[in-house]
Amino acid sequence: MALRVPASGSVKLTVDGAHVQLTNLDKLFWPELGVTKGALIQYYADVAPLLLPHIRNRAMVMKRYPHGAAGEFFFMKRAPSPRPDWIAICRISHDSGNVIDFPMINDVPSLLWVINLGCIDLNQWYATCDDVDRPDYLHFDLDPGGAAWEQVLESARIVHDALDTLKMRAYAKTTGSKGIHVYVPIVRGPEQKDVWTFAKALAQELASRHPRLMTSEYRVAKRPKGRVLVDYNQNAWGRTLASVYSVRPHPRACVSTPVTWKEIDRGVRIEDFRLDNVRTRFKKTGDLFKPLLLKTGRVDLGKFI
């Protein structure tokens, strides 16, 4: 039976044997759209079967929007206390000497609990908790900056072609914000720094070949204007990107949505995929990012580094 979230008030739901407290469900998170916190929680409850396999057993960095999508936000790494005893924890030691207990979203109760804290998008670690230094994918964040959307699409095709030349299967999703994310599933083995080094080398090579379209310059002050940033730096240890199927604090409540390369060729747009329409699409497409979960078809990055 599908989980139904009440439209208003506060409620304690029993979900898979866990008691989940949901509060202020009628609070408007997108006032101009009439979208409430409850509607956001309902979306995540609906897409949980697609979403959870991609974020399970990974530390979660919480990005909390207590005043809705247009309000101020803050990042929170450490799982708040007190918290339900069914929230799984990933303990990660940092070079600073800090040891941080991150929450993990392993099931529907944990998912609802995190969204109820005011999180709109989900930002998970690139590696699973059993070995946080060895990611199982690499990615490129294509950020338009001041470039046109058509330039982002062209850059995505160039990145895809380069990866295809290397016999690396790549999968794209809209960011739900401004750009496109390109992911490559890899065999777990290389450490995060090695993955970052490979991504940097490829980004720099592509930027040097297409200097009027792309840049790999991470420093804003030195970045040429009107170029798409091929952001390799998000592969660095401890960085995160909004997960697949995340709602974003976009004015139209857009969703980070997997797309096919044919759709990119046809000129897909960020605003095509929104909280109010993506569930219909997902019923038709299933999980286009499923290859990132499979043991087969992964790239042995060790051959390239």
Mean pLDDT of all residues in 205-224: 94
> What pTM value is reported for the model?
0.96
Cβ–Cβ < 8 Å for 292, 182: no
pLDDT tens for 223-266 read: 899 999 999 999 999 999 999 999 999 999 999 999 999 999 99
User: Per-residue pLDDT for 292 more than 80?
Assistant: yes
| pLDDT category of residue 161 using cuts at 50, 70 and 90 | very high
pLDDT in tens, 11-51: 999 999 999 999 999 999 999 999 999 999 999 999 999 99
Q: Where in the chain is the domain with CATH 3.30.70.3300?
A: 137-303
Note the pLDDT of residue 215: 97
Distant-in-sequence, close-in-space partners of 228: CB < 8 Å, separation ≥ 6: 142, 143, 144, 145, 147, 151, 152, 155, 179, 213, 214, 215
pLDDT digit string, tens, across residues 162-202: 999 999 999 999 999 999 999 999 999 999 999 999 999 99
CATH 3.90.920.10 domain range(s) in the chain: 11-124
Query: Residue 221's pLDDT is what?
Result: 85
pLDDT surpasses 90 at 2: no
Residue range 137-303, CATH number: 3.30.70.3300
pLDDT value of position 28 = 97
Query: What pLDDT score does 56 carry?
Result: 98
The pLDDT score that the predictor gives to residue 222 is 87
CATH code 3.40.50.2300 for 11-124:
no
- For the chain, what percent of residues have pLDDT higher than 70? 100
Residue 1 scores a pLDDT above 70? no
